[in-house]
Amino acid sequence: MARIKLGTTLSGSLWLEHITDLFSLDGRFARGKTYFNKGYVKKFSFDGSFVEAGVKGSYGNYQTHFEFDNDEDAKRKIIDYFQSNPMAQSSLLNGELTESFFDWCKSENITLFITRKHIIQGIRHRSVLNYEASCSCYDFYDAGSPCKHLNALLFALCAEIDTPIIPYQIRQQVRLLYN
Ligand SMILES: [Zn+2]
């Protein structure tokens, strides 16, 4: 099994920390990681905030997707941050996001990672997610409790986040390693 090292960059390790915090109590998390390591995540595509892939499962291939809520306000703030901060800009061009960027996001209340808030409405508890997700498998019913395939996709996204910003053509080749 080709085990791909994840969390090799600050961004990737923070991503890993967040998905581990949220989902690792469920056995599907570890199974999803195994699926990812076995190369079951196929046709991975990442376009802005939309991620999709076909993930091989026990009874065929499933179509799975993950999408962040679009926060235009946060996007604008982040662009301003890099435009007015040449040091941060040059590390971004080297494919790195610095600790101070993440600290700044925290101070601005910008959420870069998956979150799940519990709110109480009347007598009911409800989860509020800052993302949407789906999978075509029979086991999927709620984006807040991902199936194995969706977990595998979240690991594939971690590998993608770890990939430094490099020219598009090379990036395509790097992707082939994951597929
Ligand atoms: Zn699934």
89 and 26 in a common domain: no
pLDDT for the residue numbered 171:
43
Does position 31 have pLDDT exceeding 60, yes or no? yes
126 and 83 in a common domain: no
90-121 pLDDT, tens digit per residue, is 877 777 788 998 899 999 998 888 888 888 88
Last residue of a domain, one of 80, 110, 140: 110
> Residue 102 sits in which domain range?
72-110
Question: Which is higher by pLDDT, 149 or 113?
Answer: 149
114-141 pLDDT, tens digit per residue, is 888 888 888 888 888 989 999 999 999 8
53-66 pLDDT, tens digit per residue, is 999 988 889 999 99
Residue 25 within a domain? yes
Tally the residues of the chain.
179
Give how many domains the chain has, as a whole number.
Answer: 2
- Enumerate residues with CB within 5 Å of ligand 1 (an ion): 62, 135, 137, 140, 147, 149
Between the CA of 123 and the centroid of ligand 1 the distance, in Å, is 30
64 and 127 in a common domain: yes
Between the CA of 77 and the centroid of ligand 1 the distance, in Å, is 35
126 and 161 in a common domain: yes
- The span from the first CA to the last CA of the chain, in angstroms, equals 14
How far is the C-alpha of 118 from the C-alpha of 4, rounded, in Å?
33
Does position 173 have pLDDT exceeding 60, yes or no? no
Residue 1 within a domain? no
Between the CA of 149 and the centroid of ligand 1 the distance, in Å, is 4
Between the CA of 11 and the centroid of ligand 1 the distance, in Å, is 26
Between the CA of 69 and the centroid of ligand 1 the distance, in Å, is 21
How far is the C-alpha of 99 from the C-alpha of 10, rounded, in Å?
8
Which tokens sit at 15? Answer: 């991503």
